Amino acid sequence: MPILHRRRRLPQSKIKKIHTIKQKNKVFRQENPVMAVLQWGVNHMMNELSFVDEQPLMLERDYKSFSKVQVSNQNYNDQDLPTKFKVKEYCPIVFRSLREKFGEDSDYFLYSICDGPFEGGKSAGRSGGSIYISHDERIVVKSLTKLDLIAFFNMFEEYYEHIVDTEDQWLLLPRYYAMYRVTVGEKETYMLLMNNVMPPSTDTPIHLLFDLKGSTVARNASDKEKAKEVPCLKDNDFLAMDLSVFLSYDTDAVLAALERDVDFLIKHRIMDYSLILGIHNVSDETPERIDRAISVCHAGGHKCELLDSQPQQLYFLGIIDALQVYNTKKKAAHAAKTAKHGQNAAISTVKPEQYGRRFIEFLRSSVFNLDGSFIPTQPRKIMSPVHSSLREGADESFAGRDGDDTESDSEQYYKRVLIVNHAVTMEYEEDAEDAEAEAEEEEEEE
């Protein structure tokens, strides 16, 4: 009897046939190869992360996890991307949880990073790193050194716990959104993505900007910096202007948040940070809604998204540069500056405990108005507390002189101080005279 051989079925292929649709619009790519790879990497990693389930609690392994992709000899987008590069994302699940707690929408985050050019480059600061700002001015990308990277991960787990504990309260620490390592060729670049403390310049321009450390030694803006349209002024410039920030009942909440955040930095031996303070003089063009992941106060005081009153000024503030550890290099700098300026000099390079307490004391005594009141000035669009305080100082300086020269001398002094500090434009003089004339007419009518 013939033996019948059963016909063996060939296994079906596991390769799936898919139909692709050709992309209509070309994805934006930065001219800088590192930033172009970062944009590609953020888009790729975020798409991968969307398939990972969320988890309510962070485990120890989540702080050590990473996602990595390597591309070699690719020619498809060689006009936009290097032919060989690597991207590594650190702690993707933890950072996703942080973005959610900060109210940062994933689609909006991708739009800010991937749909437009970054502005910026090498920073003029002492760290020598690079700082880039997204096209919509919402996200800041800062390059880190390996020492900064170590400092960050030494405190990252407790930083997350700090955010969870203060989720419904004020937070002035930087809001960290993601961390990447970009490798182009043989060069590695560590990139930290965080919120921009300042609002978009297109709809809420900053009229005065300060970087405050609580130190008075060598804390003046340079002539080159003052030549800018909106210079970043420092502690001594702030004191010379005789300014104060009035937040009404928000002041206690802001100071409590500052003390809480500074205590966190002291615990991790962080120093040399600053309070960045931007002041916007409110006008008819100021948007009614400030919907941003930043701390916003206005004179009269509340943390606001919707401006349901008529504030005179908006204050944008937050702590920046919060990764500098008090290491051997800083100890040597402390010894050198102490020998040069003296034991009691208010130098910036001091121990974290001393730095933090002095920082808080300076803000309490010299920056925030704790018991005064905000006095509105007219007209609001040009007369801010800067202008009024400078005018009062000028009037007092020239008070007691005889004749008509008193007013002209005062005006000359006022003009000279304002030009040095770039507080207003050169058109202020005519506007100020018109404002004074209107005020005199109103008094006569009354």
- The DSSP result for 119-168, as a single string, is EEEE-SSTT--EEEE-TTS-EEEEEE-HHHHHHHHHHHHHHHHHHHHTTT
Q: Identify the residue with better confidence: 51 or 248.
A: 51
In the 8-state DSSP scheme, what is residue 63? Answer: G
* pLDDT of res. 371: 66
**Which residue carries 């931007």 as its tokens?**
278
Mean of per-residue pLDDT scores for the chain: 76
pLDDT at 246: 81
pLDDT band at 265 (very low <50, low <70, confident <90, very high): very high
What integer is the mean pLDDT of 380-389? 33
Give CA–CA dist 249/231, Å, rounded: 30
Pick the catalytic residue from 211, 237, 261, 272: 272
Range in 266-280, 320-334, 373-387 with the lowest mean pLDDT: 373-387
Asked if residue 418 has pLDDT above 50, the reply is no
Catalytic residue among 88, 142, 213, 234: 142
Q: Which two tokens stand for residue 124?
A: 């003029």
Q: Is the pLDDT of residue 67 over 80?
A: yes
- pLDDT at residue 166 above 80? yes
**What is the per-residue pLDDT for 260?**
95
* Residues 426-443, mean pLDDT to the nearest whole number: 50
Better-predicted residue by pLDDT, 308 or 430: 308
Known catalytic residue: 272?
yes
Count CB-CB contacts under 10 A for residue 153. 15
pLDDT value, residue 305: 63
For tokens 């309510």, the residue is 56
DSSP character for 293? Answer: S
142 catalytic? Reply is: yes
Phi and psi at residue 425, to the nearest 5°: -85, 175
Strands 232-233 and 208-212: parallel
Q: Which residue has the higher pLDDT, 414 or 114?
A: 114
Backbone dihedral angles phi then psi of residue 268, each to the nearest 5 degrees: -100, 15
Q: Are 379 and 435 in contact (CB under 8 A)?
A: yes
Q: What pLDDT is recorded for position 43?
A: 93
| pLDDT at residue 313 greater than cutoff 80 | yes
Of the segments 154-158, 183-187, 332-336, 389-393, which one has the largest average pLDDT value? 154-158
H or E stretch including 67? strand 66-72
Question: What was the pLDDT predicted at 218?
Answer: 80
pLDDT of residue 326: 82
